[in-house]
C-alpha cells in the first residue's frame, strides 16, 4: 500500500517516522511540484506514487492543512445506506435500459465516419441517467445538463486553485478570477437545488405518475428516499448536499469508467470478441438486459474491474489519521492528514510481472490475484468506500451490453494523453471508430 502523509515540512525527528520527500522548499514545502496545469498534475501524482514505493511505501509531504468532516460523514452514511439497497437499485433497470438504447441511437451518426470523441456522448448519457434516478422529472433535460456541468466546473475550479499554490492564501484568492467563477457556479447550484427541492415538495403528497394517460405507481428516486427522512434527521441543506453528491459522483465516475472501457475494448479485438460472445450466450435475442443477467456477465465485469485497475479514476484519496498506525517500515502518527496513492496500489508489483498490462483474465483466476483484497481500490476501500458501487456496475454493464451487441469498436489507448482534475480524464488520443454489426448480417 502506497501512503503519502501530508505533514508540516521539517526535520525528521523520529527515525520511526516516514522519510521526508526530497525537493521541498522553505515555507512552500512541496507545493511547487503542482505548479502548472492538470496534465502536469497527473505526471506529479505518478512520480509521487513511484518514488514513495522506492522510499519504503510512505513519505512526508507538505501541502498545508486539509479538512475532513468525519462525524458528519458517519451520520449521513448510516442514513443514506438504505437508498442503495438492491431492491431500490433493481427498480432502475428500466431507466438503465432505456438510456442505453438512447445512446445506441445517438451513436448511429458516427458509424463508418472515422475516429470521433465518444466521451461527449457518454457523459451526456450519464448526466441524464443520474438525474432520472436522483431527482426524477424535477428539472428539464436542458437544466439537468447545466446542473451537472456546473458541478464539474465547480470541482475543476477547486483543483485549479490547488495547483496554483499562491491561491492557497484566502486573502489573495478572494481577488482571483477563479474565486469569481466559483461564486457564480455556487450561486447557480444553490438556486437549482432550491428549485428542485421546492418542486419535489410540491409533489410530495402525490405518490403516482401518469404514463400514456394511465395512472401507475411512482418509482422512488434518490431524492424521494432522502425526503423520507425529512423533518427527523436531515435538514433541507443536508438533503440538497446529499443529492448533489450523488449526482456528481454518480455521473462523472461512471462516465469515466465507460469512456476508458470503450477505448480499451476497442484496442484489444480478442477482448471485444470474448465480450460479444458472452453477451450472445447470456442475452440471446432479448431486447432488454434483466437484473438476473448481470451476475452472468462475468467476463464483462472482469473487463470493467481491469479498466478501473489500469486507469484508476481517482488516483489518490485523503484520510485523517486519528490513531497511531504501524506500517512495516515506519509509524504514522495521529493528527496528520494522509493521501493514499491509489495509482501506486494498482501498479504495485504484488499484482505480478504483468502489472503494467491490460489483462481482464486475471480477475477470473484467484491464483493470479494479490492475496490482500485491499489491493483493488477501484471503489476506494474500508468504511468510506463508494456507496454507489453497485449502482455504477449495474448501469455500466447495461450500457455496454447494448452498445457492444450493436457496434464493433476500434481504438488505441496507447496514444492517449491524460490529465488529472477531479478525476483522471483523457485529453487527446482517446478517439474510437464504430462499425454497425447489424449491417454486416
pLDDT in tens, 114-152: 999 999 899 989 988 988 888 776 667 777 778 878 888
Domain boundaries along the sequence of the chain: 1-65+315-346, 66-314+347-440
Whole-number Å distance between alpha carbons of 136 and 282? 31
* pTM, to two decimals: 0.82
Does residue 183 surpass a pLDDT of 70? yes
User: pLDDT digit string (tens) for 265-295?
Assistant: 999 999 999 999 999 999 999 999 999 999 9
Give the pLDDT of residue 214. 42
Whole-number Å distance between alpha carbons of 67 and 297? 40
Grid coordinates representing 19?
A: 522519510
Give the pLDDT of residue 19. 66
Mean pLDDT of 313-341: 80
Q: For domain 66-314+347-440, give the CATH number.
A: 1.10.630.10
Residues 6+ apart with CB under 8 A from 274: 299
Which has the closest alpha carbon to 423: 383, 391, 392? 392
Task: Place 36 in a pLDDT band, splitting at 50, 70 and 90.
Answer: low
Which has the closest alpha carbon to 310: 206, 429, 218, 413? 413
Does residue 222 surpass a pLDDT of 90? no
Mean pLDDT of 106-114: 96
Q: Which residue has the cell 497511531?
A: 324
Q: Which residue numbers belong to the known binding site?
A: 386
Mean pLDDT of 167-176: 88
Whole-number Å distance between alpha carbons of 316 and 303? 22
The pLDDT > 90 percentage for the chain reads 38
Greater confidence, 398 or 377? 398
Residues 6+ apart with CB under 8 A from 222: 83, 133, 134, 135, 243, 246
User: pLDDT digit string (tens) for 372-389?
Assistant: 888 998 888 777 778 889
Least confident of 57-66, 123-132, 158-167, 247-256: 57-66
Neighbours of 114 (CB within 10 A): 8
Does residue 342 surpass a pLDDT of 50? yes
Greater confidence, 3 or 430? 430
Neighbours of 293 (CB within 10 A): 18
Mean pLDDT of 327-345: 80
Q: Which residue numbers belong to the known binding site for heme?
A: 386
Which has the closest alpha carbon to 315: 23, 32, 44? 44
Whole-number Å distance between alpha carbons of 214 and 122? 32
Greater confidence, 144 or 75? 144
Greater confidence, 38 or 436? 436
Mean pLDDT of 233-242: 78
Task: Place 33 in a pLDDT band, splitting at 50, 70 and 90.
Answer: low
Give the pLDDT of residue 409. 98
- Averaged confidence pLDDT in the chain: 81
Whole-number Å distance between alpha carbons of 434 and 109? 10
Give the pLDDT of residue 247. 78
Task: Place 68 in a pLDDT band, splitting at 50, 70 and 90.
Answer: very low
Mean pLDDT of 180-207: 81
Amino acid at each position: 500500500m502506497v501512503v503519502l502523509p501530508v505533514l508540516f515540512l521539517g526535520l525528521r525527528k523520529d527515525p520511526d517516522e516516514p522519510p521526508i520527500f526530497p525537493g521541498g522548499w522553505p515555507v512552500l514545502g512541496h507545493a511547487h511540484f503542482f505548479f502548472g496545469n492538470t496534465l502536469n498534475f497527473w505526471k506529479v501524482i505518478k512520480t509521487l506514487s513511484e518514488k514513495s514505493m522506492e522510499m519504503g511505501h510512505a513519505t512526508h509531504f507538505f501541502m498545508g492543512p486539509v479538512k475532513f468532516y468525519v462525524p458528519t460523514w458517519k451520520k449521513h452514511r448510516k442514513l443514506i445506506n438504505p437508498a442503495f439497497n438492491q431492491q431500490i437499485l433493481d427498480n432502475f433497470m428500466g431507466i438503465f435500459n432505456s438510456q442505453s438504447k438512447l445512446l445506441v441511437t445517438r451513436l448511429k451518426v458516427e458509424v463508418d465516419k472515422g475516429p470521433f470523441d465518444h466521451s461527449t456522448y457518454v457523459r451526456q448519457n450519464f448526466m441524464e441517467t443520474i438525474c432520472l434516478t436522483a431527482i426524477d422529472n424535477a428539472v428539464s433535460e436542458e437544466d439537468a445538463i447545466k446542473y451537472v456541468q456546473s458541478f464539474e466546473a465547480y470541482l475543476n475550479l477547486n483543483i485549479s486553485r490547488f495547483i496554483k499554490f499562491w491561491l492557497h492564501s484566502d486573502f489573495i484568492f478572494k481577488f482571483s478570477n477563479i474565486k469569481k467563477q466559483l461564486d457564480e457556479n455556487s450561486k447557480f447550484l444553490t438556486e437549482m437545488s432550491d428549485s428542485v427541492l421546492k418542486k419535489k415538495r410540491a409533489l410530495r403528497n402525490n405518490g403516482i405518475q401518469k404514463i400514456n394517460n394511465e395512472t401507475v405507481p411512482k418509482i422512488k428516486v434518490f431524492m424521494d428516499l432522502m425526503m423520507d427522512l425529512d423533518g427527523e434527521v436531515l435538514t433541507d441543506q443536508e438533503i440538497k448536499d446529499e443529492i448533489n453528491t450523488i449526482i456528481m459522483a454518480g455521473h462523472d465516475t461512471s462516465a469515466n469508467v465507460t469512456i476508458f472501457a470503450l477505448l480499451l475494448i476497442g484496442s484489444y479485438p480478442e477482448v471485444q470478441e470474448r465480450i460479444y460472445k458472452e453477451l450472445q450466450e447470456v442475452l440471446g435475442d432479448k431486447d432488454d438486459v434483466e437484473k438476473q443477467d448481470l451476475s452472468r456477465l462475468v467476463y464483462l465485469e472482469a473487463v470493467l474491474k481491469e479498466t478501473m485497475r489500469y486507469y484508476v479514476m481517482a488516483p489518490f484519496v485523503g484520510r485523517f489519521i486519528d490513531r497511531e498506525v504501524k506500517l512495516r517500515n515506519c509509524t504514522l502518527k495521529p493528527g496528520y492528514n494522509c493521501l493514499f496513492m491509489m495509482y501506486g496500489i494498482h501498479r504495485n508489483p504484488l499484482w505480478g510481472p504483468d502489472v503494467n498490462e491490460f489483462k481482464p483474465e486475471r480477475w477470473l483466476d484467484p491464483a493470479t490475484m494479490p492475496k490482500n483484497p485491499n489491493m483493488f481500490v477501484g471503489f476506494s476501500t474500508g468504511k468510506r468506500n463508494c456507496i454507489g458501487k453497485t449502482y455504477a456496475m449495474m448501469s455500466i454493464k447495461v450500457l455496454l451490453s447494448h452498445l457492444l451487441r450493436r457496434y464493433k469498436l476500434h481504438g488505441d489507448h496507447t496514444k492517449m494523453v491524460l490529465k488529472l482534475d477531479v478525476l483522471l480524464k483523457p485529453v487527446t488520443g482517446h478517439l474510437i471508430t464504430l462499425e454497425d454489426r447489424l449491417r454486416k448480417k
